[in-house]
Amino acid sequence: MTGGPWFSALEIAHRTRGRLRLRYRCRTGTPTAPKAIERALENLPGVTGARVNQAARSLVLDFADDETGVERLVECIAGLTLPAISDRTAAPPAGGAKPLVTSLATLLGTRYLPPSAQFPMTLSAAAPVFKHAFDDYLENGVSSHVLEALAVSISLARRDYTAANTTTFMLALGEYLEDSIARRSDDLLKHLLRPASDEVWVVRQGQEVLIAAEDVVVGDTVVVGSGTVVPVDGTVLGGEATVNQAAMTGESVAVNKARGDAVLSGTVVEEGRLSVYAEQVGRNTAAARIADYVEQSLTAKSEAQLSACRQADRLVPTVLGLAGLAYLVSGDWARAASVLQADYSCALKLATPVAFKSAMYGAGRSGILIKGASTLERLAEADTFIFDKTGTLTAGRLAVTDSIAFDNAYSAEDLICLAASVEEHYFHPLALAVVAAARATHGQHFDHQEVQFIVAHGVASVIDGKRIVVGSRHFIEDDEGIDIGAHTEVVDRLYREGKTLLYIGYGGALLGVIALKDEVRANSAAMIRRLRGLGARRILLLTGDHRDRAEEMASALGLDGFHAELLPEDKARIVEELSSKGARIAFVGDGINDAPALAGAHVGIAMKKGADIARLTADVALLEDDIECVADAKELADSAMSRIGTNYRLTVGLNTAILAAAALGVLSPITTAMLHNGSTIAILLNALRRKRKRAR
């Protein structure tokens, strides 16, 4: 096919200085081979590097921003046409099990053929090895694939067809298993991106019909009921429901949604039913942004991966020189062929990314989304952990701490039960905390008339003929005209302690106040101890809360220090100051005000119920509302880096031993091929191992 554009669709997914990531779709009939696309992109003006993730349909380009810009690049890519592509690059890669089956059949059957047919049959089976080596030589020079082709050529020249066919089969088997393992690690990661439901109810021609989620288009009316995850970003056309938006906005309390309100994908309808006009669907929804991070992680390389690749490339000339030396010393071409097969490249280049992806998948299954291999490296390096307070070390959930009645006819328990009696149908966090406290006291329930809800103020009702009001100070003082002057000393003390106050007025007088406070998570202290055991040298608290409250928490949890009454820019400044002194900081937060610190830290970790901007800014997003996942993430990162180090040592040790034995003539080409490919596969399988999830 000639003429016309190569790509039918291009969409900017992410852009930074000197780096651009695009989603693409090739026009029908055009080449889809990653190498073909990469070569074409690398020829564009200003492009310094290009990588293609075919499974994710993602292009990543590095470019010199003083030579070209994003808009110009996108324009050039959109204008790519087929005549610029050579036949070699346009050809789709041979893959699958076909080369493996062919090489096995040749290995088993060649000996039964007439001598005149054995050479062409062996050469035909080895053709993919030679083609791969030729393509790789043109692109990268002398590589491991070139060494393998030389080994097969020597066996053919010696008419040792058994050795040539065995080598070809072992290479095909190794490549097939290596590709399968690498593809499995990608597939495991992508498993995390599956939507909550593959099917969605939409209104078509006045009828509700169930269609595939991928078939929803902008303009559809999507119907979502209780317990359903909203699959699109859009506006409510009809219905009313309470929607839990914690996953996207960090709001811990479900909000009411009705006609005209906006809803986000990934939020959950707790009660009710909504008809939603779809404005963003599929990959364009807010929830799909997390999928973007995972896709990007499949193409981004960590420093460990780059180092392994550089080391493997540097060792290729050494192997080639050793093969030549072995022949000069022994005069035996078989010995040279053995040496050529014992290269380091496959295990070094594949084991590291497979280990990273396996660890990232294991993290996802444990409730931790790690946005790239480099994040794992940085988390393993972290020696200083800094925590926000509210919603991080604390649960972001209020609990009653004080109940003070100003009328001797009522006890503290009576005050709680009285407030709970009128609050029990109100789903505000304060109301839920008071009701929970009343249930714990097992006190009486006060009969009351119909409850009146006053938005943003409180509730009111009548008990025993007297008006009871429960709510804010403004509601009690300004709206209800109840004087609290006689009790300001108590009120001010509770405020200084950082507590939230609920005022109860009864019969026109202030009956009492209930104080509430955010609870420290039950496992915060255990998590801190685990971090110390994992090598954290310093653990700090940064908060905008009162100094006394911060000091109390730091002391209770055994932290190394704290900074209180901070503004968002103060948190970022402290992180920057500590980083400049050499600290490798992991910052853990959840709010919009934490985003600058999350972005400036060595690695940022966002809580599950964190604000959307915090989760977008962070390198690690917790998928479970469990602070101990922070220690899990650190332990997993340490384990992954330890396994990568072990694999590196195994690769170098085993291949060096095989190489030495081959050079000394101890191993035949057949034995070398089997040992080399077998050890490579074993190392890759070890890379796929994951640490077991901590029992909860």
Torsion angle in degrees (nearest 10) through CA of 142, 144, 146, 151: 130
Task: Give the whole-angstrom CA distance, residue 640 versus residue 619.
Answer: 17
Residues in the chain: 696
Task: Give the whole-angstrom CA distance, residue 318 versus residue 296.
Answer: 34
Task: Give the whole-angstrom CA distance, residue 20 versus residue 72.
Answer: 12
Token pair of 448, please? 């009351």
3-state secondary structure 307-338: HHHHHHHHHHHHHHHHHHHHHHHHCCHHHHHH
Task: Give the whole-angstrom CA distance, residue 170 versus residue 670.
Answer: 9
Task: Give the whole-angstrom CA distance, residue 99 versus residue 126.
Answer: 9
Indicate the DSSP class of residue 344: S
Which residue pairs, CB below 8 angstroms and at least 24 apart, start in 492-495? 494/402
Residue 219: which of 208, 198, 199, 204 has the closest Cα?
A: 204
Task: Give the whole-angstrom CA distance, residue 451 versus residue 418.
Answer: 13
User: By three-state DSSP, how is residue 391 classified?
Assistant: helix
DSSP string, 421-462: HHHTT--SHHHHHHHHHHHHHT-PPPP-S--EEETTTEEEEE
- CB distance 576 to 594 below 8 Å: no
Among 388, 414, 545, 594, the one annotated catalytic: 388
Token pair of 157, please? 């020249």
Token pair of 288, please? 């799909």
Task: Give the whole-angstrom CA distance, residue 627 versus residue 610.
Answer: 12
Indicate the DSSP class of residue 92: P
- CB distance 607 to 392 below 8 Å: yes
Please list the residues that pair with 7 across neighbouring strands. 26
Q: Which residue type, as a one-letter code, is found at position 274? A: L
Residue 470: which of 436, 503, 517, 443 has the closest Cα?
A: 503
Token pair of 119, please? 């050479």
The answer to whether 625 is a known catalytic residue is no
Beta strands 262-263 and 620-622 are unpaired
Catalytic residues: 388
